């Protein structure tokens, strides 16, 4: 494998890392955070489209970084990212290019389940009642960002070495 091929293969991880770091910037509109959970979305997308570029350790490390960025208990988002990766690897392979609508539906279900799992973990760790509205807001933001990030991921995967 040439150095260029190695760089191109690592590009999805580098882009995801950059997006996680950018998500540390406060971006909100009328009190609603506009920042998606990049580690989760990228794990779902790249585990589906280019599994060889998305090892388990990468999903875990990006999840840890997101724990720091979003001030969640260390390891919570990392563990959920691993479960998302396992869910994507366990699903049956489909022949041909995935239709964005199907990928979006599958991603939306996984993202809402992941957000619910994070909410349960946060409630369990903090021993305090957490309002469900932030859960709903975060899930909506993730689902809305999914097709935008999916188009970028498809563009990137097309340029990966075969």
38-50 pLDDT, tens digit each: 999 999 999 988 9
Beta-strand runs (E) in the chain:
28-29, 32-33
Segment (H or E) for 30: none
What is the pLDDT averaged over residues 72-78?
92
- CATH code given to domain 3-158: 1.10.1760
In degrees and rounded to multiples of 5, residue 152 shows phi and psi of -65, -40
What is the model's pLDDT at position 93?
65
* pLDDT above 90 (res 60): yes
Q: Which two tokens stand for residue 150?
A: 């999916």
**What does the pLDDT read at residue 58?**
96
For the chain, what percentages of helix, strand and coil (3-state, to nearest 5) are there? 75, 0, 25
What band does 147 get if pLDDT is binned at 50, 70 and 90? very high
Q: Which of 134, 152, 131, 149 is nearest to 28 (CA)?
A: 134
Mean pLDDT across 127-133 = 78
Q: What is the mean pLDDT of residues 128-148?
A: 86
pLDDT value for 128:
72
Residue with tokens 């903090």: 126
pLDDT at residue 149, rounded to an integer: 93
pLDDT at 102: 83
| pLDDT number for residue 95 | 54
Exposed/middle/buried for residue 9 (C-beta within 10 Å: 0-12, 13-18, 19+): middle
DSSP string, 88-120: HHHSPP-SSPPPHHHHHHHHHHHHHHHHHHHHH
Lowest mean pLDDT among 17-21, 46-50, 124-128, 140-144: 124-128
Residue (of 112, 100, 162, 119) closest to 141 by Cα position: 112
Domain ranges of the chain: 3-158
Q: What are the tens digits of pLDDT across the range 84-127? A: 999 999 887 665 556 778 889 999 999 999 999 998 888 888 87
């Amino acid at each position: 494998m040439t150095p260029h091929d190695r760089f191109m293969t690592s590009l999805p991880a580098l882009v995801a890392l950059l997006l996680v770091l950018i998500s540390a910037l406060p971006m909100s509109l009328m009190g609603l955070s506009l920042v998606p959970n990049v580690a989760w979305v990228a794990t779902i997308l790249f585990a589906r489209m280019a599994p060889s570029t998305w090892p388990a350790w990468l999903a875990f490390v990006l999840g840890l970084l997101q724990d720091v960025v979003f001030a969640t208990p260390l390891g919570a988002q990392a563990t959920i990212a691993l479960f998302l990766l396992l869910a994507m690897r366990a699903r049956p392979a489909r022949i041909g290019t995935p239709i964005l609508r199907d990928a979006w539906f599958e991603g939306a279900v996984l993202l809402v389940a992941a957000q619910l799992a994070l909410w349960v973990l946060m409630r369990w760790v903090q021993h305090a009642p957490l309002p469900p509205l932030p859960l709903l807001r975060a899930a909506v933001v993730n689902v809305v960002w999914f097709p935008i990030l999916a188009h970028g991921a498809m563009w990137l995967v097309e340029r990966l070495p075969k």
